[in-house]
Every structure is written in structure tokens, then in C-alpha cells.
A and B are shown apart, each in its own frame.
Chain A
Amino acid sequence: MTDKTLPPVDAVVVGAGWAGCIMAKELCEAGLSVVMLERGGRRSTATDGAYPASLDELEGAVRYKLFQNLAHTTVTVRNRTDQQALPYRRLAAFLPGEGVGGAGLHWTGVHFRAMPQDLRLRSHITERYGRKFIPEGMALQDYGVTYEELEPFFDRAEKVFGTSGEAYSVGGKIVGKGNPFAPDRSDDFPLPPLRDVYTAHLFRKAAAEAGYNPYAMPAANASHPYTNPYGAQMGPCNFCGYCSDYACYMYAKASPNVNILPALRRHENFTLRTNAHVLKVLLDSTGKKATGVVYQDAEGNQITQPAGLVILAAFQFHNVHLMLLSGIGKPYDPHSNTGTVGRNFTYQNITNSTVLMPATRTTDQFIGSAGGVAVDDFNCDNFDHGPHGFIGGSPLWVNQAGVKPIAGAKGAMTNGARWGSDWKRQALDSYRHSFTINAQGSNMAYRDVYLDLDPTWKDAYGQPLLRMTFDWKDNDIRMNRYVVSKLDKVVKALGARDVHYGMRDPAKPFDVRDYQTTHLCGGAIMGEDPKTSALNRYLQSWDVPNVFVVGANAFPQGMGYNPTGLVAALAYWSAHHIRTQWLKGAGGPLVTP
């Protein structure tokens, strides 16, 4: 092992997922020399999505080929502050990616913007329901950036991702049958929506009969061949269903690998280093300026990469972990309710209901895409929360992304049989005739739900693991149960043979063994007040102004929508202000507290 210091570069970007690739591309365009560090290996469609060998459920979704190797580093988890946290040793509840493309390679491709109310939720709830509507212990906050400000960057991200969807209103005019609750857009989607699979078609009809407003889910799965503004090309989605957990062999699912890296690699001022695990951001003696990062390479050498600008663009909790390990910002203390790094850690509140259709309806669950049909009637603040006394909401949707045989067998809807001919008969019936409706809801932030460094457990690099303290709270449990109850009318209109409603059970704490989503949020949030946020509205650290922290870590609370569209828009937003303001100034704070 040898330790060495490399020649300085203008910017170092930690992580080669969506956020990292967007930031690196923007900074290269601005003429900066950029080194991107990815702790995993190289990945591409050619190697990880080779057809037909890559269509392997065992390799992809059971053995988690594209996901983080928890043997090197992981998190510890507990429900309450009075418990001892234990390491998350087997992937289940959430699935962070690893390798070039990050989670952007294994995601499904559901590509939402954000609701305007979600971006200023504290202000919105206070205005509509009064300050007292926010329960004690709920740390509701605004992002500090509005939908109107982000709109050009949502639009940019959709054009880069080749997003398929149907608009409702563009430039103030109603143009189509999209989501009527969605905010106005400056332009249409770059591609028309994916076609409804059969189950989504059934849901669309039934939801309309129930009086709701069904719409085609926006998906970064190309409905047609597409060339994005970088010149990167996508093939068309053929509904094979190998989206989530796989590298799409059709080049149809947007990924950093397909949509950005082909153009990014052509910049001579760009360098990608893989198998480079960043250990910490280095600060100068004042602690107010980053001087670069130190990382460990595959041979165990510790390498110092000096840089004038540090972009943390790793996965949500890795960004928080790196800030805590580096001493950037004050760690959050739930007892005194002070400090910023680690606070407002949130998740997403999803439950799945299964509908069994009559034997005359074959649901073809094996096919799918990131598209589908959703209703937003109970998302965000699209309905009056006054009588219910909870905050938040949840879209309801059929987002059939291909149920493969192992998942179909494990998730079979049965009367309790778990083996034998009775189970086989029911599993077959279930696979042929059932489908799933998800309620993917918001998750609010709470004073005693947070991230900090674990006092006991260390990773393979000798550094303390990140500790999650997380549990479901009354507000979110009631929200979920209310929204799921609204499925009743849809199920009746479907003419279903049987239904199993998936609802949050108040007696059941958060359990890492059950898959939820990988939509972890917060921990290093953006905001307007340096006392309650780690980052300003440009995702710049309040404390170390040449560090920007880009990702879902910036969300003050979890929303019902999938986070990637907002992550991408925030990355373009942040990069725009780095390019137009920060680089032209003295490198100080973009917002004066």
C-alpha cells in the first residue's frame, strides 16, 4: 500500500449516478477539469445488459448483481433511540446501487416532477390549515426553492432522460389527458406516453368509474427511439419487464450510462475513476474550505485528490455519512434539537394491495415498464385534509414493471397455503389473474427520526457506520390507511374476484427485512435557515461553501412521487447556479444567512 497525492483538479465529483453525471457534465461544459470517483466498478449495457443472458431473475433480483456490496460498508438500523442499532447485512428494505450508473442503472424509470405544494409544504399547510395543524414533533419544512424556479430544470431533465408521458397543461393551456393535479409545464414531454399494459388499462377504466382522474405515469422508458440533447440515443421500450434491478438491454430505460456518459466521456477535461471509495472530504485548518477528498483504491492505497470544488453526489445516506465523517456542518442532536446534518431523515410510505380478477381475465404480469396508470386524487394536498387531521398523501397506481417467476411465486396470493399442490394451484391462479395496486405515499420528518454515526459498528475501512433511527409514525400510518380505503370503489368497478388490501399496520414497526422502496430522503436537507438545514437552496453547504451535496438527501420530507425526477432537476438547478454565480464569484456562499 502506498499513499499518494495527485495533481489538483478544478472539481471532484463523488459518485457516478444521476446526480454525479449531471454535475460532471455541467462542470465539464463550463470548462472545469473534473474527476469523478465511483466506489464500484465500470458498468455498461454491453456488459451488464447483454441480451438475453442478462434476463436472469436469480442474478438480478435475488442475488442483487447491480447493488451495493454490504460487506464493505452498510448502515445500522434501529426503530427508537433507546434501542441498540444493528447492521443491515442483507439487502431487502432498500437497495442502494453500486458501480457506474449507481441506482440510475437499476431503477425502474418512474420519472415525476414534484408537486408545487410539496416544495413548500410547511408554508402551504400553515396557509391552508393553520400552524396548529402541524403535530408536535413533526419537522415540516420548505425546500427554499419553488416549482416555478425549478420548472426549466424539470424540463431539461425530461429531455435528457427521454421521458414518455402525457401532459395536462402546457403554457397555461390544457393540452391532453394527463394528470389534472399536475402543475403547468413549459413544454410537453419529449415522448408520448407508453401504452397501457392490460392491468393498467383495467385500472384506468375502473378508476374513472370510481370518479377519480386516471393518467399515464411519466416514465423515463422511451416509448419510441430517441436522441437526447447530448446526442445520446435510446432504443424503444418493448415491455419486456426487465427494468427494475436490471440494465435495460434495449437502451430504452434512461440511465447515466445510456443518456449522459456517452457525451460526458468525450470531454477531454473529464476523468472517471472506478473502485475509488471516498473516505472523507478534506478541510483546511479553518474548517470552512474543502481542499479535496481522500479515497481508497482497489489495491488499498489511500489517494488524496486535491480539488477546488467538491460535489458530493453519492446515494442519499452516503452523502450524509461523508458529511459526518468529514466534519462538514454540525451533527444533529435530537435531544437538544440542534445541529443540521442527520436531521429530517425520511423514507417513503408504500403499501401494496393485490387484486384477483376472474379467471376469464389473464393479467399478463410478466410484461411491464416504468409506465402505468395512476390517480393523484389523494396525493399531496389534492384533497381537503381538514377533517382527517393528517398531513401528506399518496398516489394510487398500477405500475406493472414485470413480475418474474420467482417474485410471482413468492408473492402469490394464497389462502395461507405455503407448499404442495394446493399452493401450486393457487400460485398459478394468482400469477395468471392477479395484479398489484400500489399506494406510494409521503413520509413526514420527525424530531426523533434521524441519521448519525454509530458508536459501535465500523466498516471495512475502519470508519464508523451510519446509524438510522427510523419508525413509522401515526400521521403517516393514518394517511396510508385513508388512501388505501379509497381503493374500495376501484376494486368494485374492476369486478375483482378477491382483494387483499395492503395497509400500514400500527402495531408493526419498520422492518428492514421487507422491501419498501429505495426512496430514502433527507439527512442533509436544503432550506432557508442554516439552523434547520445543512444546505442552502442551491445545495451548497452552509458551513463549507465549496462543497455542494446533491441528491435526495436534500429533501426536507418524503413525497408520494418517486424522487429521481426531483433529484435530477435539483442537480441541474444547482449546477446552473454554480456555473452562472459561484464560478464567477469568489467561491463563497451563494446565500448569506
Chain B
Amino acid sequence: MMALHSLPPRTRRSLKRLLAGVACSLTLCSVAHTALAADPVPAPDAALVEKGRYVAAAADCAACHTAESGKPYAGNYAFTLPIGTLYASNITPDKTHGIGRWTEAEFVRAIREGIRPDGASLYPAMPYPSYARMTDEDLHALYLYFMHGVQPVAQAVKPNAIPWPLSVRFPLTLWRWMFAPTPQDARTATLHRPYPTAEQARGAYLVEGPGHCGACHTERGLAMQEKALTAQDGAAYLAGGKPVDGWTPPPLRGEALTGLQSWSKADIAAFLQTGRNMHGSAFGSMEPAVHHGTQSLTEADLLAMAAYLKTLPARVEQTPYKADPAATKALRSGGSLTAGQLLYLNNCAACHGSNGKGFPTVFPPLAGNPTVLTAQPDSVIHIILAGGTLRGTQGAPSAFTMPGFASRLTNVEIATVATFIRQAWGNTAPAVTDMEVNNLRKTLPHPTAQSLTPPPAP
């Protein structure tokens, strides 16, 4: 598990989920290169290629197919699992190592149905149950982009290292039959339902389709299938996932406390565009999703996604957050403080304020912040331990880094201060135990090492 966690979180999560259900019988999706097709190259149309670039951002392809400091889409991103290591595929148009020989039909089938040109099933780390609803036009543009807008990279994908019998592949096909919709059904479900506005229709398409938000924000079933793939499938859709890699995906529905009830359409769009708004800042697995994906979308599309999300009613009734000044008063009193209050003052208050309001959009608020208030405390514990960086975006070039406190605070201290934060200023979330902190600490790449990067030598 240690090795798994040495990976950036976004690429780990789908795999890890999947693993829990079907790991014993997975086959590896060694990158498909096939000698099938004839040269697929149609005349490139610059506008269509650009549109394809945009679709690739909306579908966040780079997050999994571009290795850190690797060439774009050249694969070799390591997925280190307890059963072995596998590597993300090269999806550049290189004819030998990439997808340069794929026809458009083969490309579309892989994306929508998870089937390689040679007939083998793709690993469902590839979110094809969501991509199944993508339009012909988008996939056509996406294909042209990958053929003409991406530099071919002659980089072989490293051979996967997973021993038999775990490498047997047929259960993947079973999984696909059981849980993946046909492209026809998927498109009917998302594109042909009635929407009050064209904006909501567009938003539903982006969220349920290329955006594959449900991959994290919808809870998974026993076989690690998403319990709902569209709003039509019921209130489980985007109702918040179980913690993955120590980050708790909050609900994207109208929950008063932990969901988006208090976020306006504009708030949601700003968050997706810049990774920050008056309610909070992106961290954990969401930060790369903004970085690789949503920051590149148009404001109209981001507002559409927001408009659609705002139509999803709360699954769970919650009492809205109500500010309580008691903790602020205590922190400012100069009087005797509880252990949690003192830890907060000495480690957190400089940036997040004694009133817990932070200084959005620089330092996010803790009071009333949905990610602080989720029942599962993983996100709060994790960010205190490991810190995090919100990188600059096109709309907000400044990067902000919260240092990690793993080397400074003990498990008991982190539990104490996290409990204080979850119960101060009107926050009402369950206490955190040192065992929970300990469990999360064990998953960090270097459990005792501080996360602060030493400055470069002069």
C-alpha cells in the first residue's frame, strides 16, 4: 500500500476502488497497439482539432495518460498496486507505441465501451461508463485532436508486472457486461431526457459524460461499480463517495452542510475555473482535476455544469451551518485555552484566522466548509498531515501551499486540533481519534518525514 500512495492521488483512485472488488481476476490492459487498421488520417481541420483539444480537457485525459514530467499523453504513468505494477497507455498518435493505427471507429469503441481494437476489455480505471454518453461530434473532434493535435511519442509502454492468475482477463468483460451501459442507452439517458433549459442540458452532458464527476463523487457498489451514473438513476448520484486515498469526495448535491446548497452557480463555476472561491479551495484529488481539466473550460460551460449540479436535491436533510462566536471569543480572550484551542492558535490561526473564516480566496475558510464537515474525517486529517498545493490556473496564476504538519504534530495533537476545527464556530462534525490519524499517517509516502521541501542550495 505504501507504494500505491507514492503515486499522485488522481491516478490511484479508480484503480484502488476497482481493485477491492475485482482485483483477483483482473487482466492487465497492456497498451493496445494493433496492426489492424489502415491509415486513418483524414484531412485535418484546425477548428475541429482545437475542439478536440477542448474535449480532451473536459474529459481530463491528461490526468491519467501524462506521466509527471513526461511528454503529453505518452503514458507510462505507474499504477503501483499490491498485485503488481501497471502502466498507463501511450495515447499519442505514434504508430508503434501509441494509437496512431487506430481507426476512428476503434477509438470511439474504446472510449465508449472499454473495448480495445483487439477485442480485449479495458480496465475500468478508464471511465467508459461515463464516456459512453459522449456525442459523435465530440468523439470525432477528440479523435482528430489525438491524431493531429498531439505529438507522436515513440515511447514503449513498460511491460506490466502482475503475476498469473491475477492477470487473467475475462472477469473484466463480465464486469463490463454487468455495469457498463451501451452507448445507445447512455446517450438516451443523458442527452434525451427533458431539461428545463438548454444550459442544464449542456451541464448534464458535461458532468455525466466527459467530466465523469461521478467516478469520485458517487458511491460505489460491491463490485466497485458506481451506484448511479446519471441524475435519473436516483439520489445516490453525486451524493458523495467513500474516502479514496485519504480524501473524502463530498456530495455535489444540495446538502445544506456538506453539499452545494450554499454555493451559487457563480461560486461553482469560479471554483472549477480557478480552484478557489469564497467557500474554499481545491485540495487533495480535486486540485489536479481543476489543473488538468476544468480550468480550460469556457465560462459558459462551467456555468452550465453549475446550473445542472444546482438541480440535484439533497439526499440527506441537514441543518444548515449557523455561525457560533464562542470559539472565536475563546481564542481571542487571552485566557486559559483547551488543548485544541491552543494547537489551533499555534499552528492554524495565522492563515485561517481565529474566527475560522480564513481569507478566501487565498486561505480557505474552515468555518462552515463542506469538506471540513463530512462525516468521514479523512480529508481534514490528510491535509493537516501532508499539506497541499493549489497550483496557479489561467484565471488565478498564484499558487498557494499549505505546509504539512506530519513532522510537527503527533497523532493525538492532530486528532485534538481536527476535532476542535470540526466543532468550532458552529461546525458540527464528529470528533477525530488518534487511531484515525495513525491509520492515515501510515498511508503517507514518508510517514514521519516532513512534507516541507528543503530550499535549494544557494
Contacts and interface: CB of A to CB of B under 8 A. Distances in A.
Interface of A: 40-48, 50-53, 65, 69, 98-99, 225, 230-236, 238, 240, 249-251, 258, 262-263, 265-266, 274
Contact of A250 (B351, B396, B452): B351
Interface in B416-458: 450, 452-458
B347 interface: yes
Given A53-B452, A262-B399, A235 B351 contact: yes
Nearest to B363: A235
B271 to A, nearest CB: 15
Contacts of B340: none
> Interface residues of B: mostly helix, strand, loop or mixed?
loop
B457 A41 contact: yes
B362 A235 contact: yes
Contacts of A262: 392, 397-399
B458 A40 contact: yes
Interface in B375-399: 389, 392, 394-399
A46 B458 contact: no
Interface size class of B (residues with CB under 8 A): 20 to 34
Query: Lowest 5 CB-CB distances: which A-B pairs, in order?
Result: A46-B401, A41-B456, A262-B397, A50-B403, A233-B398
Contacts of A249: 350-351
A56 to B, nearest CB: 12
Contact of A43 (B359, B360, B455): B455
B399 A53 contact: no
B160 interface: no
B359 A235 contact: yes
A200 B397 CA distance: 35
B361 interface: yes
B359 A266 contact: no
Given A41-B456, A53-B408, 16 more contacts: A43-B456, A44-B399, A44-B401, A46-B403, A47-B456, A50-B403, A51-B350, A52-B408, A65-B455, A99-B458, A230-B397, A231-B398, A233-B398, A236-B359, A249-B351, A266-B392
Which residue of B362, B397, B398, B456 has the most chain A CB atoms within 10 A of its CB atom? B398
Contact of A41 (B359, B362, B458): B458
B400 interface: yes
A240 B345 CA distance: 13
Given A41-B458, A42-B456, A47-B453, A231 B362 contact: no
> Interface residues of A: mostly helix, strand, loop or mixed?
loop
A263 B399 CA distance: 10
19 contacts: A41-B457, A47-B452, A47-B453, A47-B455, A51-B350, A51-B351, A53-B403, A53-B408, A98-B458, A99-B456, A99-B458, A225-B361, A225-B362, A231-B395, A233-B361, A236-B362, A249-B350, A265-B392, A274-B456
Contacts of B347: 52
B152 to A, nearest CB: 21
Contacts of A225: 359-362
Contacts of B453: 46-47
A546 B360 CA distance: 44
Contact of B350 (A40, A42, A233, A240): A240
A233 B351 contact: no
Contacts of A69: 458
B16 to A, nearest CB: 28
Contacts of A52: 346-347, 350, 408
Which residue of B362, B457, B458 has the most chain A CB atoms within 10 A of its CB atom? B458
Contacts of A65: 455
B301 to A, nearest CB: 21
Contacts of A232: 397-398
B455 A251 contact: no
Contacts of B350: 51-52, 238, 240, 249-250
Contact of B398 (A47, A250, A251): A251
Contacts of A40: 458
Nearest to B394: A266
B362 A251 contact: yes
A265 B350 CA distance: 28
A46 B362 CA distance: 13
A56 B80 CA distance: 39
B347 to A, nearest CB: 7
Given A41-B455, A41-B457, A98-B458, A46 B399 contact: yes
Contacts of B452: 47, 50, 53
A370 B455 CA distance: 25
Which residue of A48, A51, A98, A250 has the most chain B CB atoms within 10 A of its CB atom? A51
A500 B90 CA distance: 73
B397 A266 contact: yes
Given A53-B452, A69-B458, A225-B362, A233 B396 contact: yes
A455 to B, nearest CB: 28
A265 to B, nearest CB: 8
A231 B397 contact: yes
Contacts of A45: 401
Contacts of A231: 395-398
Given A48-B455, A236-B359, A251 B400 contact: yes
A40 to B, nearest CB: 5
A225 B394 CA distance: 19
Contacts of B351: 51, 235, 249-250
A139 B125 CA distance: 74
B362 to A, nearest CB: 4
Contacts of B457: 41
B398 A51 contact: no
Given A41-B457, A48-B455, A50-B452, A263 B397 contact: yes
Nearest to A71: B458
Contacts of B401: 44-46, 50
B458 to A, nearest CB: 5
Contacts of A265: 392, 397
Contacts of B360: 225
